[in-house]
């Protein structure tokens, strides 16, 4: 609205709906975050570092402290900026999003939710109410890395990675998500799948980084060329996978 | 009507500045229910029933300045002064929450406020000095 790009005829302030703010456990391995939960509240919640380490690591990169005091996770996800961190994280975590309208409610998988730049699967009469995410499990690790021109700027590229290992230290599950790598958050399916069942060393990790570079379609901008974005995506993927793997190996 | 415009034009409290009007520069930062927010990204109507502090409320009285204001003056932490109110409000809350910050923490807390004049070094020194003075 401040860019004078939209002039809605009717504007409704949903900030008073504080009952839709907050984090709730809904199962031993899942929790639900209300759409009106502000990033600042997530930053100050000690449970987030334990249960959602990927979000915890990304929060300092999201805009600025003053923005995080008002910005909500629901607003961020419904806005669906392809450079935004949270859509990539929700996609990497394979989260589910609950939409509600007068017609009823439905759950939308993250993989179906982000359909294009600033576009989601929400119908015009639907509102995003909460997002359900898996919590950190034993023998799993997560890492979020981002490069931007200045602290708080939109990411040139951001990578969100989770790794789970079995008792022998081999990778049993990997998910790699990226932001600003296309017109929507990207889940690097081939790269993620390539690591399952293997012990992760430099060779495997670099192969995955190469696959990520081949899978993305960054748009380029005045801050970074497409080639630079592609290069950064490879570098950050390698670092994030290595870090997530190392953190997973430490857990027992 | 934006909160920033309401403060400046309706309440005639022009200390809150408007630099970019889209949430990036921080010149419009005010304290809203105890936390720092961008007044250019809120409507005045949304402030109904809430507590707001602007830079005009920082000094304890007409004869005295807040330690942050004194320190900014003593360390030459401002030139044109356009970013200064936003920085003062941000640093006030920051020092309330982090009374003994190191330089990295100060720079992190300042990351949401742009200054075109000073290069930030004297602002950081002013905050360090203010933290010291507030602790005494």
Tokens of A130: 């909460």
Residues A115 and A156 in one domain: no
Residues A127 and A155 in one domain: no
Q: Which residues have CB under 8 Å from B113's CB, separation 6+?
A: B25, B26, B27, B29, B83, B86, B87, B90
Residues A56 and A115 in one domain: yes
* Residues of chain A with C-beta less than 8 angstroms from the C-beta of B2: 2
**Host domain of residue A116:** 19-134
Count of structural domains within chain A: 2
What does the pLDDT read at residue A32? 98
Residues A123 and A147 in one domain: no
Residues A121 and A197 in one domain: no
- pTM for the whole thing? 0.94
What does the pLDDT read at residue B136? 87
What does the pLDDT read at residue A48? 95
- Residue A7 falls within a domain, yes or no? no
Residues A233 and A198 in one domain: yes
**Mean pLDDT, residues A129-145 taken together:** 96
- Please say which residue of A103, A134, A165 terminates a domain: A134
Mean pLDDT per segment of 10 residues, for chain B of length 136 residues? 98 98 96 98 96 98 96 97 98 97 97 96 98 94
Q: Do A2 and B21 touch (CB under 8 A)?
A: yes
Exposure of A79 in the CB half-sphere (CA atoms within 13 A): 13
What does the pLDDT read at residue B24? 93
What does the pLDDT read at residue A162? 97
Which band of pLDDT confidence, cut at 50, 70 and 90, is reported for residue A152? Answer: confident
CB pairs under 8 A between A and B: 48
Residues A115 and A212 in one domain: no
Residues A30 and A124 in one domain: yes
Taking CA atoms, what residue in B is nearest to A65? B112
Residues A174 and A212 in one domain: yes
Q: Is there a contact between B11 and B57 (Cβ–Cβ < 8 Å)?
A: no
What does the pLDDT read at residue A66? 96
Residues A214 and A112 in one domain: no
Tokens of A161: 């990675």
What does the pLDDT read at residue A68? 97
pLDDT tens-digit map of A192-216: 999 999 999 999 999 999 999 999 9
Q: What is the CATH number of the domain that holds A203?
A: 3.30.390.50
- Please say which residue of A134, A162, A179 terminates a domain: A134
DSSP string, A175-226: EEEEESSSSS-EE-HHHHHHHTTS---HHHHHHHHHHHHHH------SS--H
* Domains of chain B listed by start with CATH number: 3-57 (3.10.20.30), 67-135 (1.10.150.120)
* Residues of chain A with C-beta less than 8 angstroms from the C-beta of B35: 40, 69
- Residue A117 falls within a domain, yes or no? yes
Strand partners, A187: A177
ipTM of the complex: 0.93
**Mean pLDDT, residues A98-116 taken together:** 98
CA distance A18 to A6: 26
Residues A114 and A145 in one domain: no
- Please say which residue of A134, A159, A183 terminates a domain: A134
- Residue A11 falls within a domain, yes or no? no
- Residue A65 falls within a domain, yes or no? yes
Q: Which residues have CB under 8 Å from A28's CB, separation 6+?
A: none
> With an 8 Å Cβ cutoff, is A69 touching chain B?
yes
Q: Is there a contact between A162 and A140 (Cβ–Cβ < 8 Å)?
A: yes
> With an 8 Å Cβ cutoff, is A150 touching chain B?
yes
């Amino acid at each position: 609205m401040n860019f004078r790009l939209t002039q809605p005829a009717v504007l409704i302030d949903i900030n008073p709906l504080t009952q839709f703010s907050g984090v709730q456990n809904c199962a031993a391995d899942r929790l639900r975050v209300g759409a009106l939960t502000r990033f600042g509240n997530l930053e100050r919640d000690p449970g987030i570092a334990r249960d959602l380490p990927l979000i915890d690591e990304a929060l300092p990169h999201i805009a600025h402290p003053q923005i995080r005091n008002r910005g909500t996770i629901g607003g961020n996800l419904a806005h669906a900026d392809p450079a935004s961190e949270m859509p990539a994280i929700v996609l990497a975590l394979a989260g589910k999003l609950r939409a509600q309208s007068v017609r009823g409610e439905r759950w939308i998988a993250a993989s179906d939710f982000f359909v294009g730049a600033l576009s989601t699967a929400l119908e015009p009469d639907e509102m995003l109410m909460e997002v359900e995410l898996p919590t950190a499990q034993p023998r799993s690790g997560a890492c979020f890395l981002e490069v931007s021109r200045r602290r708080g700027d939109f990411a040139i590229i951001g990578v969100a990675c989770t790794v789970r290992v079995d008792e022998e230290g081999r990778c049993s599950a990997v998910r790699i998500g990226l932001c600003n790598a296309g017109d929507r958050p990207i889940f690097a399916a081939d790269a993620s799948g390539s690591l399952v069942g293997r012990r992760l060393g430099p060779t495997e990790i670099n192969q995955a980084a190469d696959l990520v570079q081949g899978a993305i379609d960054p748009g380029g901008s005045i801050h970074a060329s497409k080639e630079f974005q592609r290069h950064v995506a490879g570098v950050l993927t390698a670092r994030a996978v290595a870090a997530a793997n190392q953190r997973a190996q430490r857990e027992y | 009507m934006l909160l920033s415009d309401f403060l400046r034009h309706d309440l005639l409290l022009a200390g809150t500045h408007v630099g970019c009007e889209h949430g990036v520069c921080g010149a419009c930062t005010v304290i809203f229910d105890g936390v720092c927010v961008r007044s250019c990204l809120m409507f005045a109507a949304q402030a109904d029933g809430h507590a707001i502090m602007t830079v005009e409320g920082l000094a304890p009285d007409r004869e005295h300045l807040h330690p942050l204001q004194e320190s900014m003056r003593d360390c030459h932490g401002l030139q044109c002064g356009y970013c200064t109110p936003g920085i003062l409000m941000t640093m006030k809350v920051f020092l309330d929450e982090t009374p003994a910050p190191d330089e990295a923490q100060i720079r992190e807390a300042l990351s949401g406020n742009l200054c075109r004049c000073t290069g930030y070094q004297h602002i950081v020194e002013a905050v360090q000095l203010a933290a010291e003075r507030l602790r005494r």
